[in-house]
């Protein structure tokens, strides 16, 4: 296919809750919108989100609102932007209502009120959910709305790099984005507004709860265009991923612990079965945190990691045998169905779980309207980041459970209003956009080095830049990732891009950002834990 130049008012990259909300909102206001997603619309972290969305719906209940604010600040370990936290929590009711208006049907209790649940780090039940598939329910609803609007959907297209108005001149803003189509050709897409909603970077590690698309693409593209990143050292490992040898980790939602599931070692379970004491008495979390199995994710994950290293076991156990199995199966059908594939049953059988990379707390630094910031702190004209790819100041050093979907809808709403201004019809973009560099590039001759380097990168990040860090290991990881980056760059300069090559290039850049930030962080806070500090 011959390279093409396409033009839209706005381009949205990513099809999670943030990207879909932005695309639908822009299209409803008459903007010509393209949505770029490198696989199918459903391939996003939103679709995999089980737990729910946190928010206080009663705006007159000042005590509950303050508790949500305080829980968020406590989880963030002193690094949250309190103004952002307060504004997001206060806006929660309106934005959750907007999801309900779109058609999301959150579960209700027998009295007709919402069936609110509690997760780790929360003082109260304040999380709305749709069984244990909240993300999929929201995603499905928004995809229906997307198809009702006049949006150009480019499935199987992968964003490659931002196009600046003037190359290496971020103060002039963006012209658009280069995208790789399914046939391997790169096209130029012109737009007045570009919204990065590309999600996280869990695939930097061997074990992750993330979908295959989570390779840090938005962060890497933005970094190459002189966009500032922040808090990249804070990587959240979910403490309860289903641990089945040879299988991708499957998230076991925190809501299951909110329903009473208890973390134990195999020895603790044996002792519990011989005793008449309550199950939480036998949890290894009991002596670590007063909240026990419902402590925040960083605390539970590190405690689990320490237990596993001491015992040499591959996993700990999430115990539910003291709970009503039929109620569990009704509340958690997705988990129940996945367990059944491995001959396990909620209630009778302990669930083997282990920590896995889950959520990148830092990301592209943005202002209160989702506009990206440059290295000098100014905003980047026409460029926005929303969802997990963005660092808004809400999470600080650690994300409170179920605050991510809330952040996505609140911040996307704010970014949408600004993007509408950027895409007013009287604005014209420079049509002199360069085509992708195609001359002298050959088809990628050998794919084996790409696969080997990707595996090496994941091994380095898993072994040296995981839950618990040391200075020597971080410095070794820094040297090794630099070597991989240099090798990738040699291939990149001589070969036509492929999805795997683009991803690996991005993964190496984001790995370096994480490592550099971890080395720069001189105190243990939140998700960053260095034994040498």
Q: Which helix (H) or strand (E) holds 321?
A: none
Q: What are phi and psi of 476, to 5 degrees?
A: -65, -45
Going by C-alpha positions, the residue among 232, 252, 157 that lies closest to residue 391 is 232
Going by C-alpha positions, the residue among 99, 137, 178, 148 that lies closest to residue 438 is 178
Burial code (b: 16+ CB inside 10 Å, e: under 16) for 516-527 equals bbbbebeeebbb
Residue 91 CB-half CA count within 13 A: 21
Helix, strand or coil for residue 167? coil
Dihedral, CA atoms, 480, 484, 485, 491, nearest 10 degrees? 170
Rounded Cα gap, residues 280 and 291, in angstroms: 10
Going by C-alpha positions, the residue among 456, 507, 455, 488 that lies closest to residue 216 is 507
CB 127 within 8 A of CB 54: yes
Going by C-alpha positions, the residue among 191, 156, 144, 119 that lies closest to residue 427 is 191
Q: Which helix (H) or strand (E) holds 306?
A: helix 297-311
In the structure encoding, which two tokens stand for residue 133, read together? 């598939």
How far CA 190 is from CA of 105, 360, 380, 435, 460, in Å, comes to 37, 29, 16, 11, 38
Kindly name the residue from 145, 297, 338, 505 that is annotated as catalytic: 297
Rounded Cα gap, residues 500 and 280, in angstroms: 46
297 flagged as catalytic:
yes
Q: Which residues contact 220 (CB under 8 A, 6 or more apart)?
A: 505, 506, 507, 509, 510
Rounded Cα gap, residues 9 and 382, in angstroms: 11
DSSP state for residue 396 in the 8-state scheme:
T
Q: Which residues contact 482 (CB under 8 A, 6 or more apart)?
A: 512
End-to-end CA distance of the chain: 54
Rounded Cα gap, residues 131 and 137, in angstroms: 9
Q: Which residue do the tokens 């490659």 mark?
A: 160
- Give bridge partners of residue 238 from the DSSP assignment: 356
In the structure encoding, which two tokens stand for residue 508, read together? 């190496």
Catalytic residues: 297
């Amino acid at each position: 296919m011959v390279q093409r130049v396409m033009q839209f008012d706005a381009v949205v990259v990513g099809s999670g809750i943030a990207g879909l909300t932005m695309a639908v909102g822009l299209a409803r206001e008459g903007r010509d919108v393209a949505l770029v997603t490198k696989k199918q619309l459903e391939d996003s972290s939103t679709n995999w989100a089980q737990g729910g969305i946190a928010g206080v719906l009663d705006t007159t209940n000042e005590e509950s609102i303050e508790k949500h604010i305080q829980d968020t600040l406590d989880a963030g370990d002193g690094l949250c932007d309190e103004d952002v936290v307060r504004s997001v929590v206060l806006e929660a009711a309106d934005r959750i209502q907007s999801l309900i208006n779109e058609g999301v049907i959150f579960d209700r209790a027998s009295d007709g009120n919402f069936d609110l649940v509690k997760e780790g780090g929360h003082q109260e039940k304040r999380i709305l959910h749709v069984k244990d598939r909240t993300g999929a329910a929201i995603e499905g609803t928004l995809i229906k709305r997307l198809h009702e609007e006049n949006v150009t959907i480019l499935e199987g297209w992968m964003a490659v790099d931002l196009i600046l108005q003037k190359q290496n001149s971020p103060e002039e803003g963006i012209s658009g984005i280069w995208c790789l189509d399914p046939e391997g050709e790169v096209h130029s897409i012109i737009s007045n507004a570009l919204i990065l909603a590309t999600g996280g970077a869990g695939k930097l590690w061997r074990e992750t709860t993330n979908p295959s698309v989570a390779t840090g693409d938005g962060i890497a593209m933005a970094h190459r265009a002189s966009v500032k990143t922040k808090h990249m050292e804070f990587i959240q490992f979910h403490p309860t991923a289903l641990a089945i040898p040879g299988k991708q980790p499957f998230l076991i939602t925190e809501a299951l612990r909110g329903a009473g599931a208890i973390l134990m070692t195999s020895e603790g379970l044996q002792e519990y079965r011989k005793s008449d004491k309550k199950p939480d008495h036998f949890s290894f979390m009991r002596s670590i945190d007063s909240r026990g199995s419902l402590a925040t994710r960083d605390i539970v994950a590190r405690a689990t990691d320490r237990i596993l290293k001491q015992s040499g076991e591959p996993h700990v156990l999430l115990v539910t045998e003291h709970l009503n199995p039929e109620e569990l199966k009704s509340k958690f059908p997705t988990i129940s169905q996945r367990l059944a594939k491995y001959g396990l049953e909620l209630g009778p059988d302990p669930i083997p779980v282990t920590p896995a990379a889950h959520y990148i707390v830092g990301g592209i630094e943005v202002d209160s309207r989702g506009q990206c910031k440059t290295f000098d702190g100014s905003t980047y004209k026409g460029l926005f980041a929303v969802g997990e790819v963005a660092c808004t100041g809400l999470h600080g050093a650690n994300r409170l459970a179920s605050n991510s979907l809330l952040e996505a809808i609140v911040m996307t709403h704010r970014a949408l209003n600004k993007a509408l201004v950027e895409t007013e019809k009287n604005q014209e973009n420079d049509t002199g956009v360069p085509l992708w560099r195609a001359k002298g590039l050959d088809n990628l001759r050998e794919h084996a080095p790409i696969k080997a380097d990707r595996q090496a990168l994941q091994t380095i990040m898993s072994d040296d830049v995981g839950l618990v860090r040391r200075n020597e290991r971080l410095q070794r990881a820094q040297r090794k990732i630099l070597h991989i980056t240099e090798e990738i760059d040699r291939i990149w300069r001589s070969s036509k891009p492929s999805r795997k090559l683009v991803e690996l290039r991005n993964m190496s850049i984001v790995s370096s950002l994480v490592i550099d930030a971890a080395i720069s962080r001189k105190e243990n806070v939140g998700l960053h834990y260095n034994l040498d500090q």
